Structure 1
Amino acid sequence: MTLRKTLLAASIVAALPMMASNAAQAAAQLMSAPVAQASPQESAGLVAKLAALDNQRGLSADHSFRIASQHPGVVGEKITRANHTYKGLRVFGSESVVVTNDAGDIVSESVSDRRAKLDAPAASGGGRTAAVAPADWTPTLSTTDAIAQVVKAVAPSGTHRWEPKAELLIYPVMKSVRIASALNKSESALNAMDLEEVVDHYELAYYVQTRMADKGKLVYFDTMVNAKTGAVIAQWKALQTVVGTGNSQYNGAVPIQTSQSGSTYKMLDSTRGTGGTYGGMAITNANHSSANNPNAGSIYTNTTNTWGDGQQYINGGSTTNANGQTAAVNALWGLMNTYDALKNVLGWQSLDGNNTATYIAAHVDTQYDNAFFEPGCKCMYIGDGSSFYSLGSIDVIGHEMSHGVTDATSNLTYSGESGGLNESNSDIGGEMVEAYARNGGTGNVIPASGNDWMMGKEISKSGQPLRWMYKPSKDGGSPDAWSSTIKNLDVHYSSGPNNRMFYFLSQGSNSSSTSDYYSKYLVKSPAAMTGIGNDKAFRIWFKANTTKFTSSTNYADARTKVLAAATELYGAGSKEAIAVQRAYAAINVGADIDEATAPGGVSITTQPANVSVTAGATASFTVGATGGTAPYSYKWYRNGAAISGATSATYSLTAQTADNGAVFNAVVSDSSSPVKTATSGNATLTVGSTGGTTERVTNGGFESGTTGWSGTTGVIGNYSGQTAYEGSNFAWLGGNGTTASETITQAVTIPSTVTSATLTFALHIDTAETDPTAYDKLVVTVKNSAGSVLSTLATYSNVNAASGYQVRTFNLSAYKGQTVTLSFAMTEDSSLQTSFVVDKVSLITQ
């Protein structure tokens, strides 16, 4: 039986109509100032626009969106993260990242879609059983029961540091499947792009977040609990770990911004950030408060504006004398440089982009070998170390503060591949802050050098860093490249390949197989790929994480979205975009490509022109291009959605009244590697009714979902396994491989005054039947208002199967002066599917 009606729901970047900006200008753009949170009316308006896009994708009215967060985009734009909901419940890991302009228009939408099977129709047999039955939406467990069950399992004698939370939601249980071209590959030969994550099934679940302290340690867990049975579906650790004068431990005498109140100086930097707990960036003295339940304490104060002695803290000594102040100097200098690097280079203010102040608490516990970011207070705690020196080195501070950026933006789930990317983002942030700080902490670029590409080397008493970004496997636990088992590793290890990718993107690789900077996966020319430097690499990565990544982004999805970010900043086929592809190829994510620059880019020479026609007439749009490497390929778009089969320089369609106002454009691609592309301008189709020509069918192309149609409307949508004749949607009757009947109908009125009435529709038939007997049938009829058949226009069966669509035409002039019902009725026997795919239904009267 063929795969049946699975919504196209892979994690994609949905490209909406957008004019490409000059690459150099784009690269220099800064993130805008803090944005005002949307009003309820503005949020409702955005949800309505997103729902309209969902309708075009064929999703039912049970689907909607819930605004999760907002933060700045580039100047003139805002980023909104919207969770997908079904019947009012959030679908975990399914979300849209939406870029809007000042007018509220959607500029782009980056999607991770896990709703694929939620609209599966309920019926018996074959693949038609509903993914989740309606009764499954009612929990058996209460919220209190779910929390109590998790607490009993993870820390029965613990205390809550933060109030526990439990959210009832739909949890998609995912599985990895191979794409068709990788079915016969050995496990060791798999590339990340050979697999795709699909929904295996759904469970009604409580998402329980517990933040507890127990037996001298913090016990932070996120747990998915089946809301019917209480079974634990999934669980993962949630603790995210690594102008006065100050004498810092790692950086000598450094300038630090403090405040003065009378004769007292405070480690409160009111020039960076607003609001928050202390009204500015602050360093507090935890004064050995237990890591079991740390208390931030009060802001550091001093009688002079000279702080610290630059030495490792003496265990048991004062936390407020010069020696005790050194850890606070480390923290403030790190916090200042993190803030300045993000703001001066990228325009991003504080951790959340909205300039909310944060703080760091020093001297947590006694000889505590850790540093961690605390989402509850959006702050950081650092220990004095035992096996390590004080945990306040510049890269560790940058690392932990970068968890705050992720927490405010992509919120990458802290487990599996997304958890590895979460940790990698913090390692990348730590290294880039280190480079910025080591070169004076000023300027609007990340310097080309200054960082050591080793996370936490300064805090190590043995001289061995926590992680080697250029060769992760040197730590004995991190892999150098992606494999299908990487999702099973601790996130501090699964971060390794992406760290290496970023090193290669910035610094390039080495062609010698004995080098720490060599990758066996780089098989194109030159063998040693060329890096693009810290500044460009960080801009690309930061743009992807803040404007494109979703919480469920994995390695394959990251490659797609980092490449999209590079293309937006520097252009398709640019050296920066090529470097992204090669850097990911170096860690076994995607194929390697040659660096050699292809002949000049592609440019549009003939723009498609606006067209005005009457309903029933043919409308044509043409595009011309030059440059690049011939031959060209073409892809036409209607209102931003790709038109299936529209792959020629000219696109033609039979215009209907519903087509009035539709906007068309084309993307032209050449034959070089990497491919060069050019996007045409937009052309608008105007459809008039001159001469009395009128379209009588509503939504004949199904682009507005089920509008106008009755019957088995679940067959209408955009499903994998079939393509539309035009636009995105179609009606797929049959294809079940089991006994079934499906019908779609629409009532139409044919005035008595018309001179002609012509029905047309596009029909594609494919089948698994081999016997030349009509087992499965589609009957097209005209009925009266009582449901009686006035005429059988045609009967099609598996015997009529053929490649592509055929356009069928019928004269309905006999029904002038009547309101009749057009009916497409399918019956399928108990085995071997036949699909009847209907599109572009039109009844033109004149």
Structure 2
Amino acid sequence: MRSTPSRRATATGALIAAAAMLAVGVQSGAATAAPDTFRAAPKAQAAGPANPGALPADLTPAQRTALIRAADAGKAETARELGLGAQEKLVVRDVVQDRDGTTHTRYERTYAGLPVLGGDLVVAETRAGKTESVSKASRAVLKNVDVTADVAPAGAEKQALTAARAEGSKAAKATNAPRKVVWLAQGKPVLAYETVVGGLQHDGTPNELHVVTDATTGAKLYEWQGVQEGTGNTQYSGQVTLGTSGSGSSYTLTDTGRGGHKTYNLNRGTSGTGTLFTGPDDVWGDGTPGNAETAGADAHYGAALTWDYYKNVHGRTGIRGDGVGAYSRVHYGNNYVNAFWQDSCFCMTYGDGSGNSKPLTSIDVAAHEMTHGVTAATAKLVYSGESGGLNEATSDIFAAAVEFYANNAQDKGDYLVGEKIDIRGDGSPLRYMDKPSKDGASKDAWYSGIGNIDVHYSSGPANHWFYLLSEGSGAKTVNGVNYDSPTSDGLPVTGIGRDKAALIWFKALTTKFNSTTNYAAARTGTVAAATELYGANSAEVKAVENAWAGINVGARPGGGDPGGKVFENTARVNIPDNGAAVTSAVNVTGITGNAPSALKVDVDIVHTYRGDLVVDLVAPDGSVYNLKPYSSSDSADNVKATYTVNASSEVANGSWKLRVQDKAAQDTGYINGFKLTFP
């Protein structure tokens, strides 16, 4: 059994990391007497796909409930069709449906009655009930798990408390007793304990640290954070209309037209629900932070915009799709520079920022946080490693989409994250989607170790992908903001528009992604979503692939630069488990002189737990260029990437080899192909 180092999650699922870790929440504005008069934003007019039947259906909560009941009634038969073992059971978690009747049912699994973490899967069925595809978080076979623990629950709790103390928690015991689970997220199934510890983190953010402990050896397998940081006279959006309830001389910030969403005042507290905002005149705030209602108005407004965006653009009624509103809490703590989402309370919480003068309640912060809830209800991307970066990016992507959708003159749509709240005090945003590295920490492109950094920074490549797909590369101005987006391969990307890009990401999130999706799998999922929406040979699919290549995930369709010369070997080469190195070779001919200083090496390797692999490019004279080192903590599957090698000292013509060696036991795979592109 591999002893896997802990993959530590970031402190919160927030908008910002490091000095101030912000997760996003909701905003509000001033209310009118009747909630049905709310006109926060026009319905988005996205360009229609070639196949409108692949768009999500606008399900009512009752229709969604009926689909869930039908799936639940047939789950035993579905398990048999999938070939699950006698001890495996399916548990329906969510159902979405396309307009053409294709139904995507998301299941969790149990084994011998125990929850299986990383066992989630999505089954897509046609209107006629034929299974079209199955997407699994783990391809490992779930069998032969001894469900008798050798480690006592107390040992797991002690380990979890130690991990939580490192985050600042002073909790003396776990929030819930350690529960036995089967851990499947990193390959071979393992009996484990999942322990959750509460308290507060170093910066005052609530703590919900999940720690997974091997029930046989006592080793820590994984940990992640469950808190994901993420007429009204508002501070950031001007005077707006709010959905409220009441009449005469008594009104509350209760949006009956949006699932009963409520906004509460914590009044500097850090626990409880707080006090529901109530007023005599249905006018909320005065636009300044000194008035307690102002932050409530911003938060309430942002929640309404986010609800409307998901409902009107993607047909999703509420965060969970069940028509139920979340709730918001403002004025958390004192000088608290953060905001966060919690599934446990189904709520957003906002601090007032430095000096209690910059509440973290802008539109994009609100949409970011609420989107953490959407992700939790759909793909449930684990908040650590590459899936954690994609989780954060999803919130940034839809934060931008909601901000553009809002069409608010005081807070125009842009590809900047948190630009209104000025966390750093220098007028700069938290993150830049056109070139993420401008914030000093985020990454512009994928690389093999990206899953080992803070999720707020590993989100950079996916944010960059969304910008490239929406607007394209190079210099341009949108809504008065100047952007200049590069690509990792130096080749241009032509955008297809933000509306199409958001439709593709949402469809992939809700029907293709699962809890362990990494960057390579996100590419596969978005290509599949674009194919369903626009057709296999469409410009949209090509643009999706080009945008991924622009952040170093996969190759350009057709081999990259049309002017380049491509040498490729697609023969399958099996990689021995923990054995000798194997090679795949291409014979380069017809090139004058030496190889280029930017030789493109496209690698396609299918292999579970890719961290086991060392991948090298070997030049004709035997010189070795390491492309990917061994990493015991990189548990994701497959190596599908484009590497750039300075091979200018090598003679171009001759036999070039991709050399791959598996350095650890239990996971296997093969070289699916590789190619060299000479400009």
* Fold-level similarity (TM above 0.5): yes
| 1:607 match | none
Deviates most, 547-556 or 294-303 = 294-303
| 1:531 match | 495
Maintained 8 Å contact 2:117/2:185: no
Structure 1 residue runs without a partner (length 5+): 1-20, 120-131, 175-198, 274-279, 315-322, 442-448, 599-718, 721-846
Maintained 8 Å contact 1:403/1:426: yes
| 1:226 match | 214
Q: 1:591 aligns with which of 551, 555, 562?
A: 555
Inter-partner Cα distance in structure 1 for 2:210 and 2:217:
18
Inter-partner Cα distance in structure 2 for 1:160 and 1:504:
48
Matched, 1:251 2:237: yes
Correspondences of 1:41-190 after superposition (within 5 Å):
42-54=71-83, 61-62=85-86, 64-75=88-99, 76-100=101-125, 105-116=130-141, 136-143=146-153, 145-155=155-165, 158-159=170-171, 163-164=175-176, 166-172=178-184, 174=186
Matched, 1:203 2:165: no
| 1:655 match | none
Which protein is richer in strand relative to its size? 1
1:769-802 deviation line (CA, Å, top 9, x unaligned): xxxxxxxxxxxxxxxxxxxxxxxxxxxxxxxxxx
Shift of 1:530: 1.1
One-letter code of the match for 1:296?
T
Inter-partner Cα distance in structure 2 for 1:391 and 1:581:
35
Maintained 8 Å contact 1:469/1:503: yes
Inter-partner Cα distance in structure 2 for 1:241 and 1:469:
18
Maintained 8 Å contact 1:334/1:397: yes
Shift of 1:234: 1.8
1:584-611 deviation line (CA, Å, top 9, x unaligned): 1111101013699x9xxxxxxxxxxxxx
One-letter code of the match for 1:32?
L
Report the aligned-residue RMSD: 3.1
Maintained 8 Å contact 1:259/1:266: yes
Q: 2:389 aligns with which of 402, 412, 420?
A: 420
Q: 2:280 aligns with which of 287, 294, 303?
A: 303
Inter-partner Cα distance in structure 2 for 1:157 and 1:439:
40
The count of residues paired between Structure 1 and Structure 2 equals 502
Inter-partner Cα distance in structure 1 for 2:413 and 2:219:
46
Maintained 8 Å contact 1:51/1:65: no
Shift of 1:115: 1.9
1:446-487 deviation line (CA, Å, top 9, x unaligned): xxx942211001000321111111111111111110011001
Q: 2:512 aligns with which of 538, 545, 548?
A: 548
Maintained 8 Å contact 1:31/1:72: no
Q: Secondary structure at the match of 1:539?
A: helix
Inter-partner Cα distance in structure 2 for 1:68 and 1:432:
29
Shift of 1:149: 3.9
1:98-137 deviation line (CA, Å, top 9, x unaligned): 2346665545422233324x55xxxxxxxxxxxx6x6x43
Shift of 1:250: 1.1
One-letter code of the match for 1:138?
T
Inter-partner Cα distance in structure 2 for 1:41 and 1:333:
36
Shift of 1:67: 1.2
One-letter code of the match for 1:487?
G
Correspondences of 1:421-436 after superposition (within 5 Å):
421-436=390-405
1:381-412 deviation line (CA, Å, top 9, x unaligned): 00110077210000000000100100111110
Q: 2:65 aligns with which of 36, 58, 62?
A: 36
| 2:317 match | 349
Shift of 1:26: 2.8
Q: Secondary structure at the match of 2:520?
A: helix
1:75-119 deviation line (CA, Å, top 9, x unaligned): 445432223445554443232112346665545422233324x55
Q: Secondary structure at the match of 1:432?
A: helix
| 1:285 match | 265
One-letter code of the match for 1:72?
V
| 1:670 match | none
Maintained 8 Å contact 1:65/1:82: no
- Using a 3 Å threshold, how does the CA distance of structure 1 residues 575 and 63 change in structure 2: closer, same or farther? farther
Maintained 8 Å contact 1:282/1:358: yes
Inter-partner Cα distance in structure 1 for 2:244 and 2:127:
37
Shift of 1:306: 1.6
Inter-partner Cα distance in structure 1 for 2:541 and 2:121:
24
Q: Secondary structure at the match of 1:219?
A: coil
Inter-partner Cα distance in structure 1 for 2:93 and 2:130:
18
One-letter code of the match for 1:141?
V
- Using a 3 Å threshold, how does the CA distance of structure 1 residues 41 and 576 change in structure 2: closer, same or farther? closer
Q: Secondary structure at the match of 1:543?
A: helix
| 1:822 match | none
Q: 1:411 aligns with which of 373, 380, 393?
A: 380
Q: Secondary structure at the match of 1:578?
A: helix
| 2:292 match | 324
Q: Secondary structure at the match of 2:542?
A: helix
| 1:454 match | 416
Larger-gyration structure (1/2): 1
- Using a 3 Å threshold, how does the CA distance of structure 1 residues 173 and 66 change in structure 2: closer, same or farther? closer
Q: Secondary structure at the match of 2:348?
A: strand
If the length of structure 1 is used for normalisation, what is the TM-score? 0.55
Maintained 8 Å contact 1:71/1:353: no
Shift of 1:258: 1.1
- Using a 3 Å threshold, how does the CA distance of structure 1 residues 251 and 440 change in structure 2: closer, same or farther? closer
Percent pairwise identity: 41
- Using a 3 Å threshold, how does the CA distance of structure 1 residues 341 and 217 change in structure 2: closer, same or farther? closer
Inter-partner Cα distance in structure 1 for 2:505 and 2:162:
40
Maintained 8 Å contact 1:73/1:99: no
Matched, 1:269 2:255: yes
Maintained 8 Å contact 2:96/2:510: no
Matched, 1:334 2:358: no
One-letter code of the match for 1:580?
V
Inter-partner Cα distance in structure 1 for 2:155 and 2:449:
34
Maintained 8 Å contact 2:326/2:346: yes
Shift of 1:48: 1.9
Larger RCO, structure (CA 8 Å, separation 6 or more): 2
Structure 2 residue runs without a partner (length 5+): 1-47, 477-481, 563-606, 609-679
Maintained 8 Å contact 1:160/1:211: no
Shift of 1:163: 4.0
Q: 1:501 aligns with which of 462, 465, 474?
A: 465
| 1:186 match | none
Q: 1:579 aligns with which of 523, 543, 546?
A: 543
Inter-partner Cα distance in structure 2 for 1:71 and 1:356:
16
One-letter code of the match for 1:431?
A
Shift of 1:22: 8.4
Maintained 8 Å contact 2:489/2:552: yes
